[in-house]
Structure 1
């Protein structure tokens, strides 16, 4: 087979050349997403390296060269080199000793093929020499990449048994890279879907939101639902809410709206605030995420005035709500939410005693100010005069 050479601008970075010089070119390979994405012509965000050196030796060499290094996952063989052009995670070659579906016990290895064999998919087990940039492909990952096929390394069921989260990773990678379906992978994920129940909710939530953050995950999510995988982690999803997701993604495309995983999750759930809060709690979402998901579940009865909605909810939430309702948000483009130019103290200065009446007047003026599309201070003063006269 003809050898493939990695061609990517990032490989010419001076700080990476220095890293290679310090650790030794024969001891290091670029691996994983940076190699895969470069071969696809996609943007590269993170660079990972594999090394034959043990983490203590890596840290010692980098410190001697005055390169900052952080022991980010040293128990698993990973350290992070802090470089001017972007950090690099460096992991010692590993092989699995024992797995239980949630975590693995690993031992350091000396052979690149052993390290490749413990990775999940063939397209993630491509290694590039830092100088020659020749690709080492141990499991026909290059052919799978050309075919846009996401295929487990070795036996799919064995790979999933080692780490159940690989089911969700498979679907995320399929949604991002795949066009040709791998029958063995599809059957294994469906048959072993129940094993997802044993994972931590945080890991499930992270994987699910990562999938929903992709430009167009609809076909994959629909297949997950049809094959019984999605109901294991989101039993609240129904055919009706799947249709809501499809409508949302279509409307997002028509408005060139950026994907928002929490918005899409909201579409997949019935519009019931208590249920949304239960799902958020089960998935261990943050307080802010829980609040947002609950608000999006109360998406009925929104203000007709788009800017009034943004004033009450904030621009980001307003856009989410409008997209979910398939309503246009152009009125928000370039518009900054104004600050209500009236304080309670100003009402007290007009002779109203401090207390509930001040709050009632303030609210009445604010409602009229919003209804009149946020007029300037002069008009607010007039509205205040009118409200005070009404209460005289």
Structure 2
């Protein structure tokens, strides 16, 4: 990427599709016309060509290394985003099971997952945070999870409300299913209790168009042969993500992101520390603003990925977003269901961008307090 083009980049706080590492964009730009060693662009390459098969295998291996994925889990790359997984999970894991699935409804995305799951079988809403506009997560006692549930479903990070689970919950034996779409790869995972984890890439792992699903072998056996072909996890595992033409360019870009995490960042533990440090810059400022900035999420459940907060009036919030854009801080408007401001500070958001936002917030309060 030219120096001029890089200098024109703003700090992108959009909730997704979101900021990508500059090094990844520059590598993709260098390789776009002709992938080194193959004489053609990845955009032109057959999904069955050795060049792409090498990229596919490398992407899976990098995921196994970064997340320490055990051998009894399979990795597949699909399309359709989280909305397709809202249906695929219960279609494959709930049909024919004697117990209901437990769902934790902690925000907009998990609520949508509940609505889709109810079409496929018995669902028990173990916790519903609607009464407090999803500003916190349940305690273990509040959730009261069924250890014999067909599975226990949660969204690890709610982008709209800005609440996040900071570790894997204990389910007592029920397989844990995680929608990690908006915090995938932001920290290591403990697979002890995880049955399935999925993530659409456009928040933290790559561009829009590819969804990664990691599923334990024993849960694959629940997929029934009479399911529509694309909706059956077994078919995608059997065909190594080539059941249909996969999103080749998106998988290639995910590969570059994974290499960046491994080689440039130093792994997920280092990424987690970086994410905590970035989030603290904003939350400390919010807490020290004497109420001028009011966070939506309760402090114990705040997201490291999406910092949501309000200002004293909607007029000030509108001005905040406009002035921020003028300063090169893009995508700060909050979702309509929560309002206010949402700063999405995913893995690829550089600390310089967060510092610039924090400086702007201090100046804005001083000038408009």
- Shared fold (TM-score, shorter chain, > 0.5): no
State the TM-score, normalizing by the size of structure 1: 0.24
Instruction: Tell me which protein shows more helix as a share of its residues.
Output: 1
Q: Which has the larger radius of gyration?
A: 1
User: Relative contact order, CA 8 A, sep 6+: which one is greater?
Assistant: 2
Instruction: Tell me which protein shows more strand as a share of its residues.
Output: 2
State the TM-score, normalizing by the size of structure 2: 0.25
